[in-house]
Amino acid sequence: MAACRSSVMTAHVYISTSIFLLCLSAADGRLNTGHAGVLLVERRGSYPLIDLRILKSKFKSLNVEVEAGRRKVKRQLSFQRYCHASRLLRGSVPHTPGSLHLLDDDYLGQAAHMLSKVGTWNFDIFLFDRLTNGHSLVTLMCHLFNVYGLVHHFQLDMVKLHRFLGMVQEDYHSQNPYHNAVHAADVTQAMYCYLKEPKLAEQLSPLDVFLGLMAAAAHDVDHPGVNQPFLIKTRHHLASLYQNTSVLESHHWRSTVGMLRESRLLSHLPADVSQDMEQRLGSLILATDISRQNEFLSTFREHLDNQDLDLQLASHRHFILQIALKCADVCNPCRVWEMSRQWSERVCEEFYRQGDLERKFDMEISPLCNQQADSVPAIQTGFISYIVEPLFEEWHRFTEPSPLSRTMMGHLHKNKARWSRLRHAHTPSDTQTHSQAEEPEPEGGGGEGEGEDIP
Ligand SMILES: *[C@@H]1O[C@H](CO)[C@@H](O)[C@H](O)[C@H]1NC(C)=O
Ligand SMILES: [Zn+2]
């Protein structure tokens, strides 16, 4: 335990440094808002640029102590220990490490209680994120890795795992109303529910589960809060790097690979194994490109029509994981209304911000991004009809007879009807809600606020 504690403390020093640097870059970004260039070029993924020199030297001292404590640290993941470590690791109270345990045992107790129901569809990820002080993604992933025994199975080093997950969570932009770490945690929680589907659960290998959860957690990492057409028309470097094709998804994947390598999470595995993992992760993350939905949907339909899916085959299981991740990514309208509505408002707010940028720089305003013309109910009914419903109808067919799918279809139809009523009850200009998202100044914590603008 002593060894464990000292490595955590060392980790604390290292993470505090990186938090400090991230705060600097966040503050910098804020000073410069107004310049589209700066806003969009500001990427959390740029951390190697800013702090690699400094981190390098910290890494070394960390590694020395970690080597000694590694074996003891490995199996000691309990929720409580994890959360305390994570608070240290994430530096949310970097200046008063002594007061840690006083601060929020109560919240942690409630969060731990929530985790005992993590597989239920009405899991409130917003509440969970508040109870974990904005660390829902790391906390959830560590818990699920424990549930499945993945740390043991892949002989993962807990310190490296924390470091990797911390980097992933950190690289989501908390100032994005939608594409932030809470969305990633939400998708991960949904993915977990889908992995538990009786049709699937028995057949999945530990590797399938590992990749499914990792892909869910990282699938939008470092999302800039604008879409691909915007990146292309503003000649963003990512658009030319990825040749205008699956630009964001490619970036999410390659960023994930970068963090995997930097954290050395998989460095104990044979090179061909870890390379294969990286490729499969890419194939999963790239499947979330909505513009490829028809391709996936028609293949899925064909399999279901022919009843030829054989989940003994790794390739078929991989295909189903792709579909499951796609479902998890767009499952917001299948949640209970209260949760569903919050996600809808957030995603529309993100669109509107892009529209505001476009207006400001005299560009053509993208579809769905015009706050004056595109109301939340109109955007949502379209999204449900063209994207969500067709996908979940097939998923329902695949998982049948699944109580979860029946529940989701029930919410989906009710929510669609509700948006439809709202759409016809209001003219676009009174459609409420999004304007409140003038982001409040993040309190304390130096720009790490999660932007909980919608209660
Ligand atoms: C990407 O799109 C831009 C703008 O339409 C175009 O100028 C550029 O040639 C395209 N690049 C590739 C690789 O297709
Ligand atoms: Zn997503």
Confidence of residue 187 (pLDDT cuts 50, 70, 90): very high
Test site for ligand 1: of 240, 241, 247, most ligand atoms within 8 A of the Cβ: 240
pTM of the model: 0.76
SS3 content of the chain, % helix, strand, coil (to 5): 70, 0, 30
Instruction: State the pLDDT at residue 427.
Output: 59
Helical residues (DSSP H) of 219-313, grouped into ranges: 228-233, 237-241, 247-263, 271-286, 293-306
Quickly state the pLDDT bin for 176 (edges 50, 70, 90).
very high
Q: Mind listing the pLDDT tens digit for each residue in 344-380?
A: 999 999 999 999 999 999 999 999 999 999 999 999 9
303-347 residue pLDDT tens: 999 999 999 999 999 999 999 999 999 999 999 999 999 999 999
> What tens digit of pLDDT does each residue of 213-238 get?
999 999 999 999 999 999 999 999 99
CA of 246 to the centre of ligand 1 (A): 13
* Residue 18 near residue 55, CB atoms below 8 Å: yes
Instruction: Round to whole Å and give the CA distance between 177 and 182.
Output: 10
List pLDDT tens digits, range 430-454.
Answer: 444 444 433 333 333 333 333 333 3
Structural domains of the chain ordered from first start? 2-329 (1.10.1300.10)
* Annotated active-site residue in 179, 223, 396, 434: 179
> What pLDDT is attached to residue 107?
87
84 among known catalytic residues: no
Q: What is the mean pLDDT of the chain?
A: 79
3-state secondary structure at position 295: helix
Ligand 1, from 244, 247, 364: best to mutate by most atoms within 8 Å of Cβ? 244
Read off the DSSP letter of residue 172: S
Q: Is residue 244 scored above 60 in pLDDT?
A: yes
Give the tens place of pLDDT for each residue, 157-168. Answer: 999 999 999 999
DSSP assigned state of 332: G
The annotation status of 180 as a binding-site residue, yes or no, is: yes
Q: Is the CB of 244 within 6 Å of ligand 1? A: yes
276 is known to lie in a ligand binding site: no
The answer to whether the beta carbons of residues 121 and 193 sit under 8 Å apart is yes
Q: How far is the CA of 229 from the centre of ligand 1 (A)?
A: 11
Cis? peptide before 177, omega within 30° of 0 = no
Q: Is 183 annotated as a binding residue?
A: yes
Task: Say which residues have a Cβ less than 8 Å from residue 128's Cβ, sequence separation at least 6.
Answer: 111, 114, 136, 139, 140, 185
Question: How far, in Å, from the CA of 239 to the mean position of ligand 1?
Answer: 8
* pLDDT of 135 above 60: yes
How many of the other CB atoms lie within 10 Å of CB of 2? 8
